[in-house]
């Protein structure tokens, strides 16, 4: 359901959003795809395929010009400025519609309590 919302709105799934969001928050010079794969919930081979897809769309840039394989990637600044806020809004709406709206206030309070006990900064 959440993946479908991303595909309809952005032409990429939740994994594409996760990759773009992660790269937008690392050093401006980029990050190795190995590093990204260690910090996202996607297999390393999927990260490589996603990076190639997003490079073809102009959303990522690579510093490996000889092979054009995205071993070191960074979010393309023009595209990131336009797409990331929209993708974040899609994520928030999909989470609300598919998860939060289906829970009672008591259930939500329990989830917030668990998150806080785990040290989640967003709760």
Q: What is the pLDDT of residues 14-55, one digit of tens each?
A: 888 888 888 877 767 778 888 888 888 888 888 888 888 888
% of residues, the chain, pLDDT over 70: 80
Quote the tokens at residue 92: 């928030």
50 touches 42 (CB < 8 A)? yes
Task: Look at residue 70 in the predicted model and tell me its pLDDT.
Answer: 54
Predicted TM-score (pTM) of this structure: 0.73
Structural domains for the chain: 2-117 (1.10.10.10)
Angle between helices 77-98 and 14-24 (to 10 degrees): 130
Angle between helices 14-24 and 44-56 (to 10 degrees): 80
Task: Look at residue 20 in the predicted model and tell me its pLDDT.
Answer: 83
Average pLDDT of the chain to the nearest whole number: 81
């Amino acid at each position: 359901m959440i993946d479908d919302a991303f595909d309809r709105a952005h032409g990429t799934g939740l994994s594409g959003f996760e990759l773009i969001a992660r790269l937008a928050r690392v050093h401006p010079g980029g990050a190795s795809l190995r590093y990204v794969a260690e910090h996202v919930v996607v297999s390393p081979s999927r990260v490589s395929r996603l990076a190639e897809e997003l490079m073809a769309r102009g959303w990522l840039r690579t510093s490996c010009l000889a092979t054009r394989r995205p071993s070191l990637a960074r979010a393309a600044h023009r595209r990131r400025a336009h797409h990331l806020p929209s993708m974040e809004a899609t994520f928030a709406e999909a989470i609300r519609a598919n998860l939060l709206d289906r829970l009672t206030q008591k259930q939500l309070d329990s989830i917030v309590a668990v998150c806080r006990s785990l040290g989640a900064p967003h709760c």
